[in-house]
Amino acid sequence: MNVFRMNALRVAQGILTLLICTACTGRDDSGSRVALSSTFPTPERLAQAVLDGFRERDRSRLASMMLSEAEFREAIWPELPASRSGRNLPSDYAWGQLKQRSDGALASLFARHAGQRYDLVRIEFTGETTEYGAFTVRRHSLMTVRDASGAEQQLRLFGSAVTQGGQWKLFSYVVD
């Protein structure tokens, strides 16, 4: 058996083991070890909160909507494939990269959209949706908004959201 097939078999066995362990652990109904804070009951409420933060020029509010370091380390990181042993990717490095990229994206978005009044028409996620047991990541948010002139436009004001137990939280402002 070649090396590629052996590695693929190990990955498949690891995934199966993870699924079995996840099913057998004592967790609440959402499957989570840690509940996320400052969540929203719908993607529309999350999107509206983001629009309000931009309209009010409240960068600290916008920054606080993103996952915190504690939420990332305790609720998100343990479920991600990159956290598995053998990957040699420390959580502090992964968090640092996510935080740095998200903060940079927020700075760029804030420079362009702070003070703008947008009315939410709808939000959708045009990218991949991935379930990680305790939570789901929805990628590539796309908001259809109405601007001050009444014209509709589509904006990407954050990149992804995480859902846990029916609640929504902003994962990252990275929109690429």
Query: In a 10 Å sphere around its CB, with 0-12 CB exposed, 13-18 middle and 19+ buried, how is residue 29 labelled?
Result: exposed
Domain extent listing, the chain:
30-172
pLDDT digits (tens, 9 = 90+) for 49-84: 999 999 999 999 999 999 999 999 999 999 998 888
pLDDT given at position 1? 53
Task: For residue 161, give the nearest of 101, 79, 76 by alpha carbon.
Answer: 76
Which amino acid, one-letter code, is at 155? Answer: L
Which token pair is 155? Answer: 């904006």
Return the CA Rg of the chain: 18
pLDDT beyond 90 at 27: no
Strands (DSSP E) along 27-150, which ranges? 119-125, 129-131, 136-139, 141-146
Portion of the chain with pLDDT greater than 90, in percent: 73
Q: What is the DSSP string of 62-78?
A: HHHHBPPHHHIIIIIGG
Flag the least confident range among 53-62, 73-82, 100-109, 155-164.
Answer: 73-82
CA distances from 86 to 13, 22, 74, 81 (A): 14, 19, 19, 11
